[in-house]
Amino acid sequence: MALGGAGVLRRGREYVDRSARQSPARLALGVFAAVIATVTVLLSAPWATVAGGRAPFVDAFFTATSATTVTGLVTVPTGEYWSTWGLVVILVAIKVGGLGVMTLASLLGMAVSRRIGLTGRLLVASETKVTRLGEVGSLVRTVIVTSTALEVAIALVLLPRFHMYDESWGQAAWHALFYAVSSFNNAGFVPTPEGLAPFVSDWWVLLPIILGVFIGSLGFPVILNIASHLRAPRRWNLHTRLTLVTSALLAVGGSVLVAAFEWTNPGTFKPLDAPATVLASLFAGVMPRSGGFSTVDVAQMHQGTWLLNDALMFVGGGSASTAGGIKVTTLAVMLLAIVAEARGDRDVEAYGRRISRDTLQVAIAVSLVSATIVLVAALLLLSMTGLTLDQVLFEVISAFATCGLTTGITPDLPDGAKYVLAVLMFIGRTGTMTLAAALALRNRRRVIRLPEERPIIG
């Protein structure tokens, strides 16, 4: 029996390895769909709810999709509706979903790198160790160890602080672990009815969560590249530098703009003192990256802040990370292309490297396809509800970018609209990742090239 089980496991590993090499995009879609189905079944059990009854299918499916895609949007209050066992299922789904994102995205990157020429592969191998991780098992183990170590570190920092709030050590450990996993994986789920609102001015609680969200949004390739060359930043590759610089600029710029919009808003920041306002602004500036947590009522924010959050959520975090959106490197490449065009440069360059035209084409395609998906989903929700465009657009972008911030309309949406958001979360988590890989892997060679002619632009 043991030998038979070992044989099944061996064949399973061989199948996953073969699928990862031959059809990584199909593997990504299949794995996420299977996990969502499993979590839906578990959350549909009577023991998963506080009331002891079966959750409606739409709520179980929506929560399973949100947890697996590490989004954070909910149709029922997480801390009140789901039992301890239900919360454990959600936490495991977040962990599996976060690992799946980083692992599958890294596999897609490896598949793309194997399709480039020998010179390019040697250059990539000298820049990053991701393409030299070898077998799929080694990659998975590296991702699990790295992410778990960071989550444990965050939990250990949060544990004594939660205990100071009159929580038992067991309860404090549970909350610390939940917030650590939820923050690093950019999930945005909270285990208590009041969420993080009671800690709006507590630096000890919020700062580790901010750092967890920010580090998780950088992506596994960036984390590994930094760890490999911690004392030699000059050896960081182009992807790492673009991700760090763009992420920092978005976080700082978002925090400053949120503070400017909300400083005098009586429904959000006005009741807070100066230090608490600074903390709340920093928190609100980082969370649209895909964190999804909030310490103030998002529904009370100005519409200008909503629009700013729309833009930040749409961009999202780093590639091969737990964050969603079109990714910061996509934005960086397009901005660099605009600068190069304005200067009249033939090549798009950054940090002593030339960015290929194929990369720019993939960035444009991902951005346009993502914007089209958001447009179609917004039109569908507008036709299903009587809500205003600003509310619908915020919720749609939050779902597509797997962020989880909400104006509070999701629980009251009709079932059809909830299914639309669930599909949007799935597409947002797997779609842009697989689309980018598919476009990068598609390289049609032509013997004859047509004459060049430039249409008038602008």
Question: What tens digit of pLDDT does each residue of 58-83 get?
Answer: 999 999 999 999 999 999 999 999 99
Give which of 232, 28, 179 is closest to 110, Cα–Cα.
Answer: 28
Whether 21 shows a pLDDT value over 80: the answer reads: no
CB 67 within 8 A of CB 40: no
User: Over 70: is that where the pLDDT of 199 sits?
Assistant: yes
Q: Are 29 and 433 in contact (CB under 8 A)?
A: no
pLDDT of amino acid 435: 60
Q: Please say if the pLDDT value at position 340 is more than 60.
A: yes
Which whole number is the average pLDDT over 359-385? Answer: 92
Residues 431 and 33 sit within 8 Å (Cβ to Cβ): no
Ranges assigned E (strand) in 7-80: none
Sequence letter at residue 304: G
CA dihedral 322, 324, 329, 332 (to 10 degrees): -140
Q: Please list the alpha-helical segments (H only) found in 71-202.
A: 78-81, 84-114, 118-127, 136-164, 169-184
pLDDT in tens, 411-433: 999 999 999 999 999 988 887 66
**Distance in angstroms (rounded) separating the CA atoms of residues 248 and 234:** 18
Comparing 4-8, 58-62, 224-228, 302-306, the range with the smallest average pLDDT is 4-8
Tell me the per-residue pLDDT of 377-407, one tens digit each, with 9 for 90 and over: 999 999 999 899 999 999 999 999 999 999 9
What number of other Cβ atoms are within 10 A of residue 201's Cβ?
Answer: 16
pLDDT single digits (tens) 85-95: 999 999 999 99
pLDDT of residue 127: 35
Q: Which residues contact 145 (CB under 8 A, 6 or more apart)?
A: none
pLDDT above 50: residue 117: no
| Predicted structure pTM score | 0.87
pLDDT beyond 70 at 103: no
Q: Mean per-residue pLDDT for 364-377?
A: 92
Please give the residue that has the higher pLDDT: either 123 or 179.
179
pLDDT band at 121 (very low <50, low <70, confident <90, very high): very low
- Cα pseudo-dihedral 434, 378, 218, 288, rounded to 10: -170
Q: How do strand 353-355 and strand 348-350 relate by DSSP bridges?
A: antiparallel
Does the pLDDT of residue 329 top 60, yes or no? yes
Average pLDDT over all residues of the chain: 85
pLDDT band at 442 (very low <50, low <70, confident <90, very high): low
Residue appearing with tokens 């230090």: 275
> Residue 434 pLDDT more than 50?
yes
Is the confidence at residue 365, as pLDDT, over 80? yes
Is residue 82 classed as helix, strand or coil in its secondary structure?
A: strand
